Amino acid sequence: MYEKILLAVDGSEHSLRATEEVIKICQGSTHPVQLEVINALQEVRNSEIVLQQVKADDVYRDGEVRIQHNEEKLRNANIPYTRTIERGEAGKMIAEKANNGLFDLVVIGTRGLNGFQKLVVGSVSTEVIKRAKCPVLVVK
């Protein structure tokens, strides 16, 4: 079974469902699972800062707030985990983390939220599928 799982979250409905699937996997495992939760925040470009009137630090803080529901689900299920919040190209960053950390599985929602709370049509999950060397479970 899976010993090391990377759960990519952003607080969206799809990422909450991905969290629920990870809980099922962990609870059904006969051995401890090392779980890492990653929230990869898209870098804020200067043009977006001007157009959207946001600050890069606000995007980071908003990312922490958005994933609280994911973390709450894990805590309520007594699933131990570590958490990482990073900035960059989300799909590329998640796949690199999975590959460099030798994860057995990546779990991600089909759609998520970018830094400005807009729907992304699966571009991050598609990028992770293309780049990750381990299996990727995409939850809708």
Domain range summary for the chain, segments of one domain joined by +: 4-139
Where do we find the tokens 């157009």?
A: 51
Residue 116: partners with Cβ closer than 8 Å, 6 or more residues away: 48, 52, 54
Mean pLDDT lowest among 24-33, 84-93, 131-140: 84-93
State CA 55 to chain mean position distance: 22
CB 101 within 8 A of CB 72: no
Confidence band of 62 (pLDDT split at 50, 70, 90):
low
pLDDT for res 105: 98
d(CA 111, CA 91): 12
Under CATH, which number does the domain 4-139 receive?
A: 3.40.50.620
pLDDT digit string, tens, across residues 76-127: 999 999 999 888 889 999 999 999 999 999 999 987 655 433 444 458 899 9
